[in-house]
Amino acid sequence: MDDWFFRQGGRDRIINWLGIDSKINSVLTETWVLIVDKWNAAESFFARFQLTGWRRLVNELLSETVSIATAAFVVLYAAALPALLEFDESKFLTGKFAVKFLDANGNELGKRGILHNDAVPLNEIPDHLIKATLATEDRRFFEHYGVDFLGTARALATNIQANDVVQGGSTLTQQLAKNLFLSSERSIERKIKELFLSFLLESRYSKEEILKLYFDRAYMGGGAFGVEAASFYYFGKSVREVNMAEAALMAGLFKAPTKFAPHVNLAASRARTNEVLDNMVEAGFYTSGQVHSARLQPAKTIDHSTTASPDWFLDFAFDEIQRLAEGKNEYVLTARTTIDMSLQRKADEAVQATLRKEGRAHGIGSAAMVVTETDGAVRAVVGGPDYGDSQFNRATKAKRQPGSSFKIYVYAAALENGYKPETIVRDASRSCGRWSPSNYGGGGGSGARMPLWLALAKSYNTVAAELSFAVGRDKVIELTNRLGVAGVTKSCSMALGDGGVTVMDHVGGVATFANGGRLARPFAILDITTSKGDLLYSRERDEPPAPQIVKRQVAEQMNQMMQKVVTDGTGTRAALDFTHAAGKTGTSTGPKDAWFVGFTGKYVAGVWLGNDDNRPMRGGSSGVTGGQFAAPLWHAFMTVAHTDMNIPTIPGLEPHPVQIAEQQRAAEQKAAEIAAGISQPDVANADGTPQRPQSILPDRTRDALKVLSAALRKAGTIGTLPVTPAKATVPASPTSLPTSPTTSAPATPGLPLPPGNTAPDVAPNAADDRRATLAPVGKRRANSIADPSEDRLGGN
């Protein structure tokens, strides 16, 4: 062939495509042949194991069983893991301390803890009490392994037949697991945890040990835990000495100690006791004749009609005792506390009244409330609707979404970083990933311009979110940690309160602003003495002064803004006519949580409403919001809590007219007393605080008298010594209050002002920093539509 390609030797100089193609075909063919040979060899090999007939059926069943068992084990482990994490053997040692609690005046409040060497052994507990308990709570206790499936089925059938819950299916072991490790929330998750914890308890402890733990840890009403404490509380004697009627009464308390307590409802207690006696006969433990005398001669109890144990507060105080006394090798203690029993009763009544009025109609099943002084001294704690039904303290243990009440910390962080109450901001925000904030009722903001205080008062989500992005979410978290609000995590919607906080921590954080910026960690213990009378702890002696953790100017500006929430925003239902109030509402998505946290010049209080199982509440067209339900509860309490109108002024606000009139009256009375020679003029220290009058007694004499009076009270020969109330220092004239200098409000960093617009100056008046002295006063006796700007998850 004569052509240019072959003449130039082109075939020799280019790639041999035909050779490559041939090679590829050869390799693929050989590979396929090899695979087919191997496959055939494998088939021949496994053909030896091929099963037919009944052998194949058995093999399939075994294979499926192994697969199902493996999957079941994985699911079982996943379900049991949360329960295993809840198991903590230190919970068995909660009786390490035996503590008697007193109020500030020395009046006994109640006791917590037990001494292990004083606990009654199981073989000394009367047989009729053990049988009464088993007959009523768990008849097959010695036959099951923690969960009685037969008993549960029987209880279910009985309840269906009666169309009501008349019989429970929980065993003693399950009840013990709940009492020791879990809350009383009604949910599938808690029930699964209870199930596995019961198996764990049964595997580690004998039946006798479980029964003994149950008798020692069960709540029996009146602040008494365990049958020994309950026996002394109700009958004034050891459990070793109770008769059959008394044993039946005690056995009836395990189900609902508050409902069936004889000092609460004697008729219900007698009916429950007869039910227990019937159960003892039905179970075959006794005959009708043997229980007949117990029916004719019911148990006689000690009269407790005039006493009420502040159980929620005592639980919180007992936790503090364990922290303060840890490692000091003293276990029998007496603690003087900060509680005000008058305020505690008023807080209980306010919460109960709200639940009775609004609970059923709006699906509100639970509530919590904490009241403190502005320095953090806890005056009252309400941890739930009924301590007898559930001892889980929702005020100190439950972490709930604070909603828009968390914006307090976002705006405070903004003020610390150059913002002012009059700084102009826009109703708009940037996005964070795929998330964008929206205001209550929907919408991503109108773009309208407004001062910073108005954005807080109307609770705009867009502004709060933008502030957190502009200032820095890490700075907001740093501020919450500084204030003692623990557990806040960084997220896009953090500014709207998407995390969990306790009512106690929230109130402590807000109290810092109420006192002008000083740390206000809630505390319940004033001092602790040992069984020998030695002072183990004194807050005045052992705790350093509260540090200034927020600049006073920032605290004052926040107080001015929070007052606007009450006067012009979502919290108008919290407004008081006799003094200034400041605070913030909050509502979480659902709504599952409704909040109001606020303060006057004297008290700080936080209110939470919701459900233990996290079910959403329900309402009318406006729904359930913090401004609609929590704020009125707060208002109802504060209205009755302030009995003295000489209320300190909130830092940053002008004195209220009622306080001005009261201060003038007190000043005139003081002047008249000085003129008559009844009292001496008040002398101030260098820091402005009133100087304590010098005692006519030498220090050594005063100390000796204190020791003598303590010994006499311990011996029971005299009552509580009277305490003279201290006089509060009152300024001679309200016009002498200092004012803060005028400050300029720059434009918001990251949020530009419109052209030609400047932020006006702010000239807030600083509050009178002098606080009325809280003095013990002798033994106390028992005697509108929601704002449309309220939002969810950061709601109102």
Among all residues, which ones are annotated catalytic? 137, 404
309-314-315 Cα angle (round to 5): 125
Residue 20 tokens read as 């490559």
N-terminal to C-terminal alpha carbon distance within the chain: 95
Sequence-distant (6+) residues with CB within 8 A of 357 are none
Give CA–CA dist 113/94, Å, rounded. Answer: 7
Give CA–CA dist 175/284, Å, rounded. Answer: 23
- Estimate the crossing angle of helix 127-137 against helix 207-217, to 10 degrees: 90
Using CB atoms within 10 A of its CB, is residue 299 exposed (0-12), middle (13-18) or buried (19+)?
buried
Residue 183 tokens read as 């809350």
Question: In Å, how far from its chain's centre is CA 191?
Answer: 21
Measured in degrees and rounded to the nearest 5, phi and psi for residue 382 equal: -120, 110
Using CB atoms within 10 A of its CB, is residue 520 exposed (0-12), middle (13-18) or buried (19+)?
buried
Give CA–CA dist 468/409, Å, rounded. Answer: 10
Q: How many residues does the chain have?
A: 796
- Estimate the crossing angle of helix 266-282 against helix 244-251, to 10 degrees: 100
The β-bridge relationship of strands 98-102 and 332-337 is: parallel
- Residue tagged 């007898």 (tokens): 388
Give whole-number Cα distances, 440 to 308, 363, 409, in Å: 42, 21, 20
CB 624 within 8 A of CB 618: yes
CB 520 within 8 A of CB 511: yes
The amino acid occupying position 67 is S
Measured in degrees and rounded to the nearest 5, phi and psi for residue 333 equal: -130, 155
Cα within 13 Å of Cα(103), Cβ side: 23
Give CA–CA dist 17/9, Å, rounded. Answer: 16
Give CA–CA dist 306/729, Å, rounded. Answer: 35
Give CA–CA dist 10/20, Å, rounded. Answer: 18
Using CB atoms within 10 A of its CB, is residue 658 exposed (0-12), middle (13-18) or buried (19+)?
middle
